[in-house]
Amino acid sequence: MGKRVLLIEDEPNIIEAITYILSRDGWDVLSHSNGEDAVEAVAAHAPDIVILDVMLPGRSGYDILGDLRRGEATAELPIMMLTARGQARDREIADELGATRFMSKPFSNAAVLDAIRDMAIEA
């Protein structure tokens, strides 16, 4: 597996933090901040792992996750959902739609790095 992550997130501070964490570990991190064309961004960048925010402008991360899971090329793509709403129901929805991992904000740097490393090994 390669080391390319597509971060679909609209908050600049989160983008900066995750990019910094993963880049230091040797990952090529690309970011996209709009939900409306996120599925197209995944197709265009062909990432090895996607980090997907639940609340995005234009479209829900859950809707995007569902589309990715229905796509032939992305059905098995490792996807970590990231949300500020860490309620049990949010986790259930992500699980039902096929998320590989689920992480609540705020998160620790180590937790993000560990989750991405684990997802890379499992893929």
Evaluate whether 58 touches 35 at the Cβ level (below 8 Å).
yes
pLDDT band at 87 (very low <50, low <70, confident <90, very high): confident
Q: What torsion do the CA atoms of 91, 97, 98, 102 make, to the nearest 10 degrees?
A: -20
Evaluate whether 106 touches 117 at the Cβ level (below 8 Å).
no
CA–CA separation, 24 and 46 (whole Å): 21
pLDDT digits (tens, 9 = 90+) for 36-71: 999 999 999 999 999 999 999 999 999 999 999 999
CA–CA separation, 48 and 46 (whole Å): 7
Evaluate whether 101 touches 81 at the Cβ level (below 8 Å).
yes
pTM: 0.96
CA–CA separation, 79 and 76 (whole Å): 9
Query: Given strand 101-104, what is the order of strands in its sheet?
Result: 28-32, 4-8, 49-53, 79-83, 101-104
pLDDT band at 123 (very low <50, low <70, confident <90, very high): confident
Domains of the chain: 4-122 (3.40.50.2300)
What would the two tokens of residue 49 be?
């792992």
Evaluate whether 55 touches 33 at the Cβ level (below 8 Å).
no
